[in-house]
Structure 1
Amino acid sequence: MPSATYETALVELHHLGKGHSDSVNTISFSSDGTYLASGGDDRTLIIWNTVEGRLLYRLMFESSVDCVIWHPGRAGTVVVGCESGYLFQIYDLTQRSTQRYEIQLGILNTIHCLDYDKTTCSLAVGVGTDVYVIEETRQNVYEGAVMFSPPPELEGVEQEREDRMRPVGVHFGTNGEYLIASYLAHGIRCWDTSTRDVLWHVMPPAGYPSIGSSALSHDQSWLATYNVVNGVHLYSVTSPRKQPKVSRLLKLSTSPRTTHSVHLAFPNAGCSVTCGTTTGGVHVWNVLNGDTFQVLSHSSTSRPATDRSGYAYIATGSIDKGQSTYIKIWRAKIGYCRTYTSLSHDVLKTTCSSYWHS
């Protein structure tokens, strides 16, 4: 069957209330799309049934749950990062008990971002102002945390402002061979993971001093960064050893109301980019031509999407407080994209979200 490119509008499937009581910071689908994990400022991690829109488990922590990802190689296992700096692998989820393994990096600071590479069994962690990689040497056991070289200090920036060096996104490249980290005010850095050598380092375009978040497409051909000013910059990544350049700017229809960061990612096998806003709504663009495909109605937004049985799912979470806090799950029947002939079992590592820090 010849390749083609088309998309179908996303429609609201579930409105999940009575879950979180404070801002939703992070959302992540399981690899088969059956479950959704969400974490928030109410110090809880919630596991939802995606198909039924039903709350299954609620786990409490000592501080805000700032990031969560599902383990790509172990069913029913999530990695959870907290504002306090504690990092856990949660497994054996049941109604009566769960198992928690504390992942120790040798540093205790706010966990900002996570990624896991299944090939090398390695976890990348953006913690404080640093980026670490730690290996899962056996099931639910991590050892040998290694810090990757930080970017140079910016000229004219006061030392106390170096908290702006914090990483806002970490992404493993092909088979874990390289690692890309985006920093709030220090550009984008790429390392060879075997040698830890810096392959390249780029700063955002002039007039865009900050990066609020970033996402790497599942085929590693596009890197998207939220510029905090007016939208998303798309970088074409042709080779891990070649410094990427901005391909296009995807503009939001309304300028951001605040300087809060918003999450973003690539649904539809990388043919689309989604981004939350501080003004309400989730923007969905076509990667190939930069056109706005859809704006999903929302008060404010949060994170990821996956594909199961031929459907694309996107979850979005509000940064409201109290009973008004909610999560929405959106669904779209998808067909063909680029040279793909079947998307029914592809995991679409997708994000659309509002962030909770300035």
Structure 2
Amino acid sequence: MLCCVNPDCQKPLNPDKNNYCHSCRAELIPLLGGRYRPTQVLSDEGGFGRTYLAEDVHKLNECCVVKQFAPKLQGTGPLTKAIELFKQEASRLQELAEHPQIPTLLAYFEQNGYLFLVQQFIDGKNLLKEWERRGNYSETEIRELLLDLLPVLKFIHVRGVIHRDIKPQNIIRRQSDGRLVLIDFGASKQLTVTVQTKMGTVIGSHGYTALEQMQDGKAYPASDLFSLGATCFHLLTGVRPSQLWVQQGYSWVGSWRQYLISPGKDGVSVSIELGEVLDKLLQLDIQKRYESADEVIADLTPGLSPLPSLPVTVLTSTFASTPGNKRPFSLRLNNTLKSQLLLISSISVLGLAGVWYFQTRPHTMSEYSPSNSPPTSLPISLPSKSDFLPKAFKGHSSDVNSVAFSPDGTTLGSASDDKTIKLWNLARGEEIHTLEGHSNWIWTVAFSPDSKTLASGSADKTIKLWNVETGKLVRTLEGNTDGVTSVAFSPDGKTLASGTASKDIRIKLWNVKTGKLIRTLEGHTDGVPSVAFSPDGKTLASGSWDKTIKLWNLNTGKEIRTLKGNAESILSVAFAPDGVTLASGSKDKTIKLWNLNTGKEIRTLKGHKDKVNSVAFLPSGTQNGLTLVSGSSDKTIKLWNPLTGKEIRTLDTGSGYIYAIAISPDGETIAGGGSGENILKIWQPIH
């Protein structure tokens, strides 16, 4: 289904075939911003705009959230002002998305007189739905909620941002890790107040909104803390503050304890300590209320120091239910965390988005051989998070879909949705060239073995070859009927292989010197997002959205065999240095290792919580030994021991998805491309 984005439309859902809305007759917009397909209305702002669930067609229809702001303005002056304010709010949201418990801002744009924000979709239930399903929270759970959310509030308040609309509906428990995520920072609502009505409109929800915010339209950190207290009251008692507000205004806050159920089988009570915290959160007089998140935390955890400026709290998730337990989901703190929770602080090792790379210290590991027995322990010692000093550089203006190291180890190439390729000098951390020429987003890049040529594949259906030294275009390879999703050079540099999207499911082999098509390989039934040459150059592996991997004899152009076993699309394939083992990453969240002599699966690696977009092996002969690296939409990069299938370590990259990874020839550097703030970040160990 396709959603009409006319905010006044009463029945916005339409069949895919419609060009005009069946309800309001407005022209339908199949792709917002050229890539986001609105499929469902999530919330309605009463004619001022809507929030939609959408699919990102650039990212295998990955879910995202599109927030629409529809100012009813006359003349160009007010609209220009609205757009200016909109960009300011978007910039603020982009900064806030540094926190792992705030959704990533993916894009913002103006289209057809409407303004749109695109944000990361958080898979999970909001706390209102959770409460409706499982009943009232216990005191322990309320404390855990406060300890998980207060650091998020401190983070935004330090940056001069007030949420203004904290309530159970705007807090989501993330399914992957049980953490609470604060959503809906109300950019469209703030714009509505500023541009549309100017006076008399208040951002917030009756019952949850502090008195000063409701009466004067002014909000402070203490205003958010009142809303957090009202949220706790709702979840603790089961009584909605909005209902009490309609019946008696704010008088309920002075006698909130009367709504507690008497202790018993299903009853709820609170300790004196928590009761005093809620009393102070719910003070009508802002002068008597908590002024900061730190003050609340200090009262919840007496004797501990206040939170550092960039807090990351740690919670242990417990999902198992017990017989007769009314609450099948809870978060529990172990004893150590209870005493140390609020003292933990760190900056994410791999930043927010765009391109990252870090260097590891030398390590040793036995070289992989199918005949070797797995070692009893992993002879590897990777540095801890504190071993890295992040260094940021300006980069792309949109998602980075592909990264590649030059074989001589001097240059990093990155390709982006912003239709450019950037070449970076690794020694200096500086941009060398920006390659422009594609007319649509760029899916893939690869260096030739001599490091002199870069190949790029784009949604504009072309492949371009570039001179790395000069940054000039050498030639364009044409003839595809859909976007080019993958390119790879043969080990001798004479042949380029390319895969394409769904409408052109053929793999093509090109003569690099002449640009002529050598051969077409046919057999897949869906797009081919990944192709890779074996180390000896005799075999090509292709991973497809049709859930299969195919091996091709490059001398004859014939299919050798098909590898099957994944439940979802294959997104990436990579040969191990031995040429006998292949790794594949899939949308089904797994990595599989295959024996290419037999076509049998060796083992499945599980640990990622979202699709595995990219896999790569450390090159042969490096000091690190054989290691498999994977990048995922769960925002992590993982390092694996292929002999045992065990995870060596996980690198938390912050708030951005990982779409691509690459490893330097010496095995010391990993680069990752993804979504988020689209900047280059470099990590080097402290010596």
Q: Considering the TM-score relative to the shorter chain, is it more than 0.5?
A: yes
**Pairing partner for 2:444 from 55, 58, 67:** 67
1:53 equivalent in alignment to 2:429: yes
Q: Distance in 1 between matches of 2:559 and 2:520?
A: 13
Q: Report the AA paired with residue 473 of structure 2.
A: Q
The equivalent residue for 2:516 is 143
**Pairing partner for 1:280 from 635, 640, 643:** 635
**Pairing partner for 2:673 from 303, 307, 317:** 317
Q: Distance in 1 between matches of 2:635 and 2:491?
A: 35
Shift of 1:214: 1.8
Cα distance change of structure 1 residues 264 and 201 upon mapping to structure 2, 3 Å threshold: same
Q: Distance in 2 between matches of 1:230 and 1:190?
A: 22
The equivalent residue for 1:232 is 591
The equivalent residue for 1:25 is 401
The equivalent residue for 1:335 is none
1:200 equivalent in alignment to 2:554: no
The equivalent residue for 2:613 is 262
Shift of 1:13: 6.4
The equivalent residue for 1:169 is 530
Specify every segment of 5 or more residues in structure 1 that has no aligned partner in the other structure, as ranges: 154-164, 333-358
Does the 8 A contact of 1:120 with 1:176 survive in 2?
Answer: no
SS at match of 1:90: strand
The equivalent residue for 2:506 is 130
**Pairing partner for 2:475 from 87, 93, 101:** 101
Cα distance change of structure 1 residues 28 and 14 upon mapping to structure 2, 3 Å threshold: farther
The equivalent residue for 2:646 is 291
Shift of 1:235: 1.0
Shift of 1:176: 2.4
**Pairing partner for 1:304 from 630, 654, 662:** 662
Cα distance change of structure 1 residues 249 and 329 upon mapping to structure 2, 3 Å threshold: farther
Q: Distance in 1 between matches of 2:417 and 2:452?
A: 23
Cα distance change of structure 1 residues 14 and 146 upon mapping to structure 2, 3 Å threshold: farther
Higher relative contact order (CA 8 A, sep 6+): 1
SS at match of 2:635: coil
Q: Distance in 2 between matches of 1:114 and 1:84?
A: 14
Q: Report the AA paired with residue 213 of structure 1.
A: S
Q: Report the AA paired with residue 423 of structure 2.
A: I
Q: What percentage of aligned pairs have identical amino acids?
A: 22
Segment drifting more, 220-229 vs 267-276: 267-276
SS at match of 2:449: coil
The equivalent residue for 2:24 is none
SS at match of 2:536: helix
Shift of 1:329: 4.3
Q: Distance in 2 between matches of 1:142 and 1:112?
A: 18
Count of aligned pairs: 297
Q: Report the AA paired with residue 51 of structure 1.
A: A
Q: Report the AA paired with residue 326 of structure 1.
A: I
Does the 8 A contact of 2:629 with 2:638 survive in 1?
Answer: yes
Cα distance change of structure 1 residues 85 and 273 upon mapping to structure 2, 3 Å threshold: same
SS at match of 1:9: coil
Cα distance change of structure 1 residues 8 and 85 upon mapping to structure 2, 3 Å threshold: farther
Higher relative strand content: 1
Q: Distance in 1 between matches of 2:494 and 2:392?
A: 33
Higher relative helix content: 2
Residues 200-246 of structure 1: CA deviation (Å, up to 9, x unaligned): 112224xx232222222233222111132232111122x3xx4x211
Q: Report the AA paired with residue 586 of structure 2.
A: N
Q: Report the AA paired with residue 305 of structure 1.
A: I
The equivalent residue for 1:90 is 466
Give the number of the structure whose alpha-carbon radius of gyration is greater.
2
SS at match of 1:296: strand
Q: Report the AA paired with residue 679 of structure 2.
A: Y
Q: Report the AA paired with residue 564 of structure 2.
A: M
Q: Report the AA paired with residue 218 of structure 1.
A: P
The equivalent residue for 2:572 is 213
CA RMSD for the aligned pairs?
A: 2.4
SS at match of 2:664: strand
Does the 8 A contact of 2:528 with 2:542 survive in 1?
Answer: yes
Q: Distance in 1 between matches of 2:679 and 2:581?
A: 30
Shift of 1:92: 5.4
Q: Distance in 2 between matches of 1:122 and 1:168?
A: 18
Shift of 1:51: 1.9
The equivalent residue for 1:348 is none
Cα distance change of structure 1 residues 26 and 135 upon mapping to structure 2, 3 Å threshold: same
Cα distance change of structure 1 residues 330 and 235 upon mapping to structure 2, 3 Å threshold: farther
Q: Distance in 2 between matches of 1:26 and 1:78?
A: 12
Cα distance change of structure 1 residues 313 and 92 upon mapping to structure 2, 3 Å threshold: closer
Cα distance change of structure 1 residues 221 and 327 upon mapping to structure 2, 3 Å threshold: farther
Q: Distance in 2 between matches of 1:292 and 1:126?
A: 30
The equivalent residue for 2:210 is none
Does the 8 A contact of 2:577 with 2:619 survive in 1?
Answer: no
